[in-house]
A and B are shown apart, each in its own frame.
Chain A
Amino acid sequence: ETGVTQTPRHLVMGMTNKKSLKCEQHLGHNAMYWYKQSAKKPLELMFVYNFKEQTENNSVPSRFSPECPNSSHLFLHLHTLQPEDSALYLCASSQVRSGELFFGEGSRLTVL
């Protein structure tokens, strides 16, 4: 079993849909992250959760809503997205203070 698991791997949604991305880590870490990778752009940090508490929101539009019910699970709820939100969404985890991140395989999102 991989350390960080993301589902679904691929998602196609219309602009009026509501969907969620799920991330689960099996590494015993206490920090989880959402990063976004768009074509032709470097990876961008979206949200940081330390010990289930959100500590960073990198000016992300409210149509992206994260949820972290415990240190092992992280969700990204999506609603009324725009086509420019199409990207690879990557989840990562680490121990707080270690700074070494481990990433999942990503969820490829296409917004029509």
Chain B
Amino acid sequence: KQEVTQIPAALSVPEGENLVLNCSFTDSAIYNLQWFRQDPGKGLTSLLLIQSSQREQTSGRLNASLDKSSGRSTLYIAASQPGDSATYLCAVARNAGGTSYGKLTFGQGTILTVHP
């Protein structure tokens, strides 16, 4: 059974810092890995999707890497801003014969607070 762990559980940083969020998973037979952002009481916003054959994806100040063999992914946020404050969720999709069918296993999330 796939298990996803995110470290740290919470992180508080001053504005402008570069930071790294970590995600690890136990079963390397994944189809892809997706990073989401969730604001309090809201739904999930997709940030980055990394296919199992890829090593990294970038979008603006965000960069996500994937090391499938070691079961790890990191989300790097450059020059953090107060608006980045949210819960960040990592989710892996199981590889089911070359597809995923959207069956994601989520981590508990990292609660990020960026203070001015």
Q: Which residues of A contact B (CB under 8 A)?
A: 4, 6, 31, 33, 35, 41-45, 48, 50, 55-56, 88, 90, 92, 94, 96-97, 99-106, 108
Partner of A31, one of B46, B51, B101, B106: B101
Minimum distance in angstroms from A32 CB to a CB of chain B: 9
**CA separation between A102 and B49, bound complex, in Å?**
11
Partner of A43, one of B46, B51, B106: B106
Residue of B nearest to A10 (CB): B41
The interface size of chain B toward A, counting residues with CB under 8 Å, comes to 27
B89 at the interface (CB under 8 A from A): yes
Q: List 13 A-B contacts (CB under 8 A).
A: A4-B43, A31-B102, A42-B4, A43-B91, A45-B104, A48-B102, A55-B101, A94-B102, A97-B100, A99-B31, A99-B99, A103-B43, A106-B43
Residue of A nearest to B5 (CB): A42
Given A45-B104, A105-B42, list of 19 further CB < 8 A pairs? A41-B108, A42-B109, A43-B89, A43-B91, A48-B101, A48-B102, A56-B101, A56-B103, A90-B43, A90-B44, A96-B99, A99-B51, A100-B34, A100-B46, A100-B49, A101-B46, A103-B36, A103-B45, A105-B43
B42-85 toward A: CB 8 Å interface, digit per residue (1/0)? 11111001010000000000000000000000000000000000
Partner of B101, one of A41, A96, A102, A106: A96
Partner of A42, one of B32, B93, B106: B106
**CA separation between A44 and B10, bound complex, in Å?**
21
Determine which residue in A45, A55, A94, A99 has the highest number of CB atoms from chain B within 10 A of its CB, and name it: A99
Partner of A108, one of B41, B91, B103: B41
Contacts of B107 in A (CB 8 A): 42
Contacts of B100 in A (CB 8 A): 97, 99
Contacts of B36 in A (CB 8 A): 103
